[in-house]
Copies of this chain bind each other. A is one copy, B any other.
Amino acid sequence: MPPSTPNLTHVACSNCCLNEVCTPLNIANIGITVKDNFVERRLPVAKDTVLILGANEEHYLYAITSGSFKLIADNDNQSHRACLGFRFAGELLGESALSGNKSPYTAIALEDAHVCRLSTHTASTVNTQMPEFSNRIIRLLSNQLHDSLKTHALYQGSASAEEKVIAFLTEVSLKYRRAGQNHLVFTLPMSRSDIADYLGLTKETLSRSLTRLSEEQKIYCSAKHIELLDSRLTNYSL
């Protein structure tokens, strides 16, 4: 495995999905800020590290603060078509941990990364003491469900290969925008095979679609470097 090109730029806490959960609870009758007790912050994760979420009775909610991950299905019956999605800085991993479920996916770091994590045990303990913390967790999960549904809707209308690729670029662009980074010019951290698996295409068809989109001046694409030139690709909001 080649050495990683480290992405040392952490996403700002204000752009992180766990921000509300991380933000100190200034509760009058407790009078302390509890942030650092709850969330373990900025743990390094080396490229290609496999995060099996929810094994060994240890359940954590992770927030990615730098780097990116790909999600693969645990059902090892089929090695192909196993890529379930991607997560970038500011996004959550292990979102089904709070029901005690093992995550239905395994996350693999696409580059050197950092994560913050909250143990579900800690979360449930704090919940019983601070209703406001519960409400923050509930908003987090509800927002996550909303995102999940919107993303589904984004892809639902895509019939042709080219439409699927456009939907993918739109999704990635949105993730960069949320992270407070450039959402018109960015790097794709994953391989063409991963993208193709995710979209239900072959890597050849994906490659041809990218070539055609380049020819149509809708994007500029050179290897993993992408520039979006067509406003249709960036108008979507989740």
Contacts and interface: CB of A to CB of B under 8 A. Distances in A.
Say which size band chain A's interface belongs to: 35 or more
Interface string A148-185: 11101100111100000000000000000000000000
Contacts of A75: 153, 157
A211 interface: no
A131 interface: yes
A130 to B, nearest CB: 9
A209 interface: no
A142 B84 contact: no
A153 B85 CA distance: 10
A135 interface: yes
Interface stretch (A36-44, A93-101, A186-194): A93-101
Nearest to A123: B138
Contacts of A157: 73, 75, 78, 80-82
Contacts of A127: 131, 134-135, 138
Interface of A: 73, 75, 78, 80-85, 95-101, 103-105, 124, 127-129, 131-132, 134-135, 137-139, 141-146, 148-150, 152-153, 156-159, 200
